[in-house]
A and B are shown apart, each in its own frame.
Chain A
């Protein structure tokens, strides 16, 4: 055996740590920039999509320009300003019946059920009211104080930016001014919903969920609360938290028993119970559905789903997660807000 036959083993400790904090931070900054620039979940858009965007850009620009001209012509002769009152928590404003409700702004985001709900929510525009000349015959505004935490007298900077659809700047402002949690702590219901928008815009679903929880838990009497509960259910279901989703759908029904989405929320609760293989609970909820919505559009479908699930697996409720506290385990299917629901099985 010659001296060339052996290469000594390379000791692991012989190697340096090339990944310094400085290098890693530099790469992260670049990545963060790319993430921020990406409008779509995929960061790098394909060449096809880029080319398609360029092709669509020209007609879109023409349409936008023409729409702008038409809108300008339509609104120029109106003497009175189109004042849109913002809705603040605990503040009720009376308006004449003739005052039209502002139409919800269309969104360009995904057309799922959550987004449809969000589209129905009128956007607060209070800062814009402040800069316009009020009409002389403006009706008297009656303000009713509530027991809920008093809203801030001056809307925070980020809220103004959000209202102007400057989402990126609003998100950056929040970070500069103490962070998302601090903003949420002081937020009114409207502002918390705006924070939900911002968190979802910046793909921070955990923060969006936290903000929705805040609306449901702290402002149950606010008109935003049912929508927040439904959106919360949708997001938790997508995140795989079926128990949290069930609670949120239950909350929606508690907050808005006659709401537009009560039937849908109950159907979703049934689906979640089936998914969790809690067939007893699913059966109870299905009975409720039959009673409350005898002509429900999903009645047959849900019956079939439950039949199929029961045939596929034995009936046994899914035990509460072991890692949760006993209090949480006992309240496995209770909504965060204890409001009785019509016909609900205790």
Chain B
């Protein structure tokens, strides 16, 4: 890993000459994930902060889009990075940190969804309401917002595994192989979950009136 070594060498040599006001994280920001992982494994906190700055938004957006709300999302991201730091030695391919972190986030969200679903079933807690303002962009048209509201309302009623698999495939737009990896299941299982969720959504989705008219005209 000559490239990684060089980068570290430059970093180390440059550190002594850096100006006092320079952002410490920016000095390692140019390193790739594999190099940062190597530094974090050496207990370099600045490298860990750089990894956080690079991937935290991805982790948070992933959690929000699966949940459909911001409830406990900060806890999820916090716990995901803590767990990642603690188990970094288990990461075999350092360059794959992002997807590995994503899998941690998915597992945490899944646990949370299952717990909430159980509490909901026994009447202890209500399911999280969908926070449309958080999920939908302000630039989204009213039709798209209505679509998202309906889809997320339907997703809430699905089991956590199916909800996660469908969201990873159709919202996060991951490849099937990546969905399986993130969800921690086989490719066949991932396909089955997505198909089951898709079937359920298709059965229950009601298109807006204008769309129905257009579809009818197309059919003619």
Q: Which residues of A contact B (CB under 8 A)?
A: 1, 3-19, 23-24, 26-28, 30-32, 34-35, 41-44, 178-182, 184-185, 202-207, 209-211, 213-214, 236, 238-244, 321, 323-324
Contacts and interface: CB of A to CB of B under 8 A. Distances in A.
Q: Which of B16, B140, B203 lies at the interface centre, i.e. has the most chain A CB atoms within 10 A of its CB? A: B16
B202 A16 contact: no
Given A213-B16, A241-B8, A241-B9, A16 B134 contact: yes
Contacts of B139: 13
Those 4 A-B pairs whose CB atoms lie nearest each other, nearest first: A182-B20, A210-B15, A19-B60, A19-B57
Nearest to A183: B20
A213 B151 CA distance: 58
Contact of A4 (B20, B42, B82, B207): B207
A52 to B, nearest CB: 18
B45 A202 contact: yes
A19 B56 contact: yes
13 contacts: A4-B202, A15-B61, A15-B65, A19-B60, A23-B60, A27-B77, A31-B81, A181-B20, A181-B22, A184-B16, A185-B20, A210-B15, A238-B42
B170 to A, nearest CB: 6
A276 to B, nearest CB: 10
A213 B137 contact: no
B151 to A, nearest CB: 7
A239 B219 contact: no
B207 A3 contact: yes
B74 A26 contact: yes
Interface of B: 1-6, 8-13, 15-16, 18-22, 24, 27-28, 38-39, 42-49, 52-53, 56-61, 64-65, 70, 73-74, 77-78, 81-82, 85-86, 133-140, 144-145, 147-148, 151, 170-171, 173, 198, 201-207, 211-212, 215-216, 219
A16 B140 CA distance: 9
B207 A205 contact: no
Contact of A5 (B4, B9, B47, B202): B202
A139 B136 CA distance: 79
A244 B48 contact: no
Contact of A243 (B5, B133, B138): B5
Nearest to A182: B20
Contacts of B56: 19, 24, 27-28
A178 B137 CA distance: 41
Contacts of A178: 20
Nearest to B49: A28
Contacts of A3: 206-207, 211-212, 215-216
